[in-house]
Structure 1
Amino acid sequence: MTSEEDFTRALRDHADLAPDPPTELFALAAERRGRARVRRRRTLGASALALVAAAGCALALLPGHTPARVRTTPAAPAVDGAFMSTTLRSLLPPDGQATDASGTPVELVLPGQAPMAWLDYDDGHGPARVLLSIDRLAAPLSDGAPALQCPDALAEPTTTCRRATRPDGSRLTTSTKAPRWDGDDRAWTVTYAAADGRAVTVHEIASATPSRPAREQPPLTEAQLQAIATSDAWRPAFAALPASTVPPAAPVSGPAVLTALRAALPAGVAFDPGPGVQDTPGRVHGAVTHGGRTGQLVVSVEHGWHRGFRDAPPTAFRSLTPAEPTRQTPDGALFAVTRLDVTGPDGTKGVQWTAHALLADGTLVTAELWTDGAGHRITADPAALDRDQLTALVTAPSWARA
């Protein structure tokens, strides 16, 4: 699962937070990655300025020398948090009100994570949280690109999802998430990917309470979200996100994922994909049962994940779950497992597990397991698999052959 899909899922699980981005992570990244760079730039910059000044003085002292006019070109905009938030605000309709705008600097984004901007926008009928992120996808784009897929129906109650290829080769995916219960939030998402891999995703989240349902129509229409995502105003931000130098690997078919999953399941675990054919590239879902316990499981697999990008796959992988330590199996697979406690509308507490693994051959495997029952109802039942079983599942060698 890509970093973009992780971000979308986080919105689903923490919608009542109108999520505050992890600014402390960006600060830590700045601390770790920026100090040496700043010192180096200051040293080189001072040396360069001294050389330029010395050369200018020497020329000015030559007999009969007239200083030449220097032609200047407008400086490129600085891509920082202010650029991200200001650009987002500039693309909003002027008849509404934007508040609490902020953004993350591109140069401070952790490897594998996308720069973001976020704010609240109110058209006079109630606010919605707007979150935007940019990313690079491997080109050429294909219908199997994970970031361009519709949300998984089992994981997210999606009412509409449309995917389109535009005349210029760019791709557009639009989807709407319905409330799971009274008092749950509603969300609209647009993902735009240019033919060269530049990608922009915009989420719009209308919050709700048990006494006040989320508004059915958002402050920003789908057309307005698309205009924001497809705007050329985001081009400067991609200068710090160079394109991949390696074409994407062929997507794994849904049946191939299912076959690999059955081979990877621990002994005694049953998996039921349900009726119908699952043909989403690289993904399969269903009910997993073990020891009398049943949970919902979504598994995704992607060969050649993040290869050819500026940050090597192992470096980018460590940012998929920054709050959890990354461990390594004896055969070289990296993995991290995260537990998230979730609460239903009646106060029932459930559990969601997310396990990521980057196999030695570059295959990324993600498994999400939660205790939702029918209709996304939170149950207090123990998870069908524990941490060790999930680890064994995502690090199984069968995924490399999918």
Structure 2
Amino acid sequence: YAGSVVTPDGPADKAGVAAAPKTGGSPTAEPAPESSGEPASDALKPGMAEIPLSRIADVIKANTPAGEWRFDGLDGKGQGISGVYDDGKGEAAVGVFLNRAGRSAEAGVDMVTCPEKAYVPYDACETGKLPDGSRWMVFQGYEYPDKREETKSWRATLLTKDGFLIDASEYNAPAEKGAAISRENPPFTAAQMKALVTADAWRPLLDQIPPLPTAPAQPGKLGKPGKVRQAPPEIVGNTVPNTLRSLLPKGLKVVDDGGEGEFAFVVVDDGKGKSLVQINVQYGMDDVADQLFGSGDVTTLPDGRKVKLTQQPGEKGGEGVVWWTVDTLTKDGFRVVVGAFNTGAQHEAATRAEPALTMEQLKALALDPKWAKLPAK
């Protein structure tokens, strides 16, 4: 099952270069371990519900069109189940998983936010709100962003007003991965998927999911002996996206943009093809300086800033894609990393020979003093 299930307070990869935007839950992320549809062992993970999987299967069958179902492990307990559905037009894998979104008020919002097309390809995505304030998303995309196989991945997600997630997905093959295509499209329409996740019958099952464990106190990182290092400030709002647009070289037309907080991206076109440009602005990165700048083309400026230049192939499968990066870090751990591609989306083929910005332009962008003046909390 490929639907991502939000796990509370998961750590970010600090060494990641120009990470994907925070908005838009990725439909290809792996599920949390507690969301497995396999029969639960006698020692269930703390905080995991002991819902009979047969009850989850019953709700699925009662809220989908008539057809033949095959589920594994119906005698087990847990929070989700996967199975194979056949309406006579070809077998299709289907899964439904229940979870708590997290501890914060905004937890789970990414799961009901359509992703940016620059990062996740899809044919359709719709969102909305129920009268009680619950939010939903219906997504029709692909199992593989580069479409190396034609497996379609359609999903519907509901974030209830009290912080529960109901996440359902379906495929046009009898398995999420490694199975031949069995039908043109997954079996259920967008409206049927929405009806499935918004069914009232889920509420008694959601009520069986125990509260999340209390988060342990985190006083901050340890610095020198006898000192406690406070958590670094974070940039919030739209200041990074707005600043990125203001610093772009002249002659570039912005055809798409997005991001928030420490991340932003633009897709630009200078008349020679689209080019994706993305940036991360982060505080408190000095503890991974050796990991980030320990090798490669690294120079140190007179003010102590480290600058690393990298030119490499793209990593998302787009044919002929190249990825140019300028990574910078001050002595006190303030990092600005800018990346550019010779395509408007990493998973799509190259649209031009090189990115629209040269390495010198990327370097000037990353080193601009405006980044250090952005407000942070």
TM-score, L = length of structure 1:
0.47
Which structure: larger Rg?
1
Flag the structure with higher helix content.
Answer: 1
